[in-house]
Amino acid sequence: MSADSSGLITTHPDNCPRCWWPGTDPVYVAYHDTEWGVPEYDSRALYEKLILDGFQAGLSWITILRRRDGFRRAFEGFEPERVARFTDDDVERLMGDTGIIRNRAKIRGAISGARAWLAIEEAGPGFSPFLWDFCDGRPIQTNAATRAAIATETDVSRTMGKALKAKGFTFCGPTIVHAFMQAVGMVNDHLTGCHRHAPCTALGEGRRP
């Protein structure tokens, strides 16, 4: 694997130029190539990703990614209707589950988030439009050429985080929310030299949830 003069675009043995952050880990590279930055409009999937980003707080994303199957099993496929019914017994069950990050506050946050998700869905128009409205229903194209040009939080992520907290979500500070927005394609932060930049840009053109 080689890096260009900026040290931020890496070229792998398959000759694909990529953002610097997945390194050579095959799990991370696959996530970068197939998921990160792809616009997501499904309300359930958005709940799952937001909760997983909350579990990431204080940890690396690859730590969460390697446990994603365990999380999906433990949280019943991240179906909010099911998670919202979790009880204190479920919290204790999850605290003993080695397949996830065993943090009581984050587990309880997933449950309160599921209940908040249901309230937003019932009030209409739904969780996906609620979130996408913060960026006017279309991915924000940053066209960043270097790592230094990529923000860790923005006015939009601060506003979205406050709105989520008001609805009952936890672990939704502006940095976590910005990482979430990058992951679900609300922000296209693939570097312009990355082979995924143009495809992710095209996926978001003209789309409204």
Q: Which residues are annotated as a binding site for Zn(2+)?
A: 19, 32, 190, 194
- List the binding residues: 19, 32, 190, 194
Cβ–Cβ under 8 Å, residues 21 and 32 = yes
Q: How many Cβ atoms are within 10 Å of 21's Cβ, its own excluded?
A: 15
Structure tokens at 130: 């609620």
Q: Tell me the chain's radius of gyration from C-alpha atoms.
A: 17
Which phi and psi (to 5°) does residue 19 adopt? -55, 160
Half-sphere exposure of 127 (CA within 13 A, CB side): 24
| Matching residue, tokens 């984050």 | 106
